Amino acid sequence: MSHLDGDYLASSKLSQNKIVKEKEDMEESTKKAVTEGVDCKIPVTEAWMRKHRLLYDGATRHTFIRSIRDGSVDFSSFKRWLGQDYIFVRSFVPFVASTLVKSSKESGDGLDMEVILGGMASLNDEINWFKNEASKFHVSLTSVVPQKANIKYCRFLENLTSSEVEYPVAISVFWAIEAVYQESFAHCLEEGHKIPEELQETCERWGNEAFGTYCKSLREIADRCLQKASPEVISKAEVSFLSVLEHEVDFWNMSVGEA
Ligand SMILES: Cc1ncc(CN)c(N)n1
């Protein structure tokens, strides 16, 4: 073996060691990237919120809501909202009941069912609250005629009661509907508000901390279901999430007399 050969072998061994080391480093960084990728993978509902931020803000920061917060609200708009929302909540109940049935069939430990059952109980309170509020504001609930935006929203919910509609879709819709009210009224209550005294209770009804915790539980259930769902079901749920936001905007528009 020549001197050159020895050098060659030595350098070849050196570069081989370098290659092995580089490969090991790459594998390590790939492993790290994959692990970090999994760790920092954002929940589906978070991805939707980021992607549809404008529409979400449109639903949770509507002029009607802003007017409650800054005290400039028109009380005839509030009364219109009150009567229409009473009708909406009554249609919301069968939808929530159908979601409860889906959860009882699909969720393993039964904990989802308890959260949804709690939601049903709070809807019962909500209906009674509307009756009380209506009598305070002299709104006759029996003579309220459902308006177009409300009819469309109720029809959307009715279609979702079908057993064909997958649980991840239904629970995502349920979460989104409750979350819009929670965020809207919690915004009203943020520091510096000038909520008229008569409407303070309304804001607290959905803007309070316990309602916030309940919405967070619904969101966690939705994310857990979506994580296991097929791409088709996830995209159906996303489309339904967008429909909720659009219906909520239309509902506020109707309340201020713009629909
Ligand atoms: C239109 C609408 N959206 C949501 C909520 C809250 N349950 C409601 N009462 N009305």
96, 59, 84: which is closest to 245 by C-alpha?
59
| Residues 201, 207, 212: CA angle, nearest 5 degrees | 140
Ligand 1 atom with minimal separation from the 251 CA? 1
Write out the catalytic residue numbers.
Answer: 248
Residue 258 is predicted with a pLDDT of 84
Structure tokens at 38: 């999994």
Measure the CA angle with vertex 234, ends 230 and 240; round to 5°.
145
Q: Is the pTM of this model over 0.90?
A: no
Q: How far is the C-alpha of 176 from the C-alpha of 45, rounded, in Å?
A: 9
Q: Tell me if 81 CB under 6 Å of ligand 1.
A: no
CB 258 within 8 A of CB 80: no
Across residues 166-181, what is the average pLDDT? 98
Taking the CA of residue 153 as reference, the ligand 1 atom at the shortest distance is 1
Return the residue whose CA atom lies nearest to atom 7 of ligand 1. 178
Considering only the C-alpha atoms of the chain, give the largest distance between any 2 of them, rounded to a whole number of Å.
107
The residue whose C-alpha atom lies closest to atom 6 belonging to ligand 1 is 178
d(CA 191, CA 13): 69
With a 6 Å cutoff on the Cβ, whether 88 touches ligand 1 is: yes
- The CB of 249 under 6 Å from ligand 1? The reply is no
* Tens-place pLDDT, residues 204-243: 999 999 999 999 999 999 999 999 999 999 999 999 999 9
AA identity, residue 168? P
Residue 116 Cβ contacting ligand 1 at under 6 Å = no
**Which residue among 123, 133, 178 is best mutated to probe the pocket of ligand 1, counting the most ligand atoms within 8 A of its Cβ?**
178
pLDDT tens digits for range 18-33: 544 544 544 454 344 4
Which sign does the torsion angle of CA 111, 117, 122, 123 carry?
Answer: positive
The CA angle 204-76-80, to the nearest 5 degrees, is 70
- pLDDT digit string (tens) for 53-104? 999 999 999 999 999 999 999 999 999 999 999 999 999 999 999 999 999 9
